[in-house]
Structure 1
């Protein structure tokens, strides 16, 4: 029988880059949920690469960020996401984020994607994040 799954936002995050990026992912049948926490100490040196996937709802929990839409002609449009605000990113729209850190030195988001992100797996020892130095995915 299906059951509800409760999770804490800022507990039991896995290190992707020590002192830079921590994550956890929860995978459902029709959506994936990721908590993404950048720490200023090493997080500023982690450039993201443009990527696309299904429709995404992103809520900025701490700090802020800019989401850059990358259009087929190469043009980019910046969308600011201040702390406490949320954004919907259409499925298939190439995008990447640049973080701004709050007083705690943290930029943290809760991302919900439907359908589930194919590169996220519940067994992933190191959660996937589209960093510029990672291979195709």
Structure 2
């Protein structure tokens, strides 16, 4: 029973293209149930509007939405609809994840560990220190090729 669990949120509990079921699930869940975060259902701003009232938040991935500019638009739209925002990733190099981390102060949750799944990340960028993401102090995104 979900009431016996302490869940921060439930991510993508519905098939990605089934917007109607998002709304149905929201009506069936008791008040105070875990927040529902849309991931695969949200590719861009249009889906945020479709999910308003059903999802409690969205998970933005730069590789999925098209880049930093669209991600910023999505964050702004989600905030205007009182939705929480998560910034996530695919299995990606430090180039993409460092770019995403530059938006970190604008979101509620960060899940930027995709480079940890690579056998060898060819770039140096963001680092982790005691559970915190550290951005490089170099110009631009701060990313550079990894020295061999």
TM-score by length of 1: 0.26
**Bigger Rg, structure 1 or 2:** 2
Of structures 1 and 2, the one scoring higher in RCO (CA 8 A, sep 6+) is 1
TM-score by length of 2: 0.25
Q: Which has the higher strand share?
A: 1
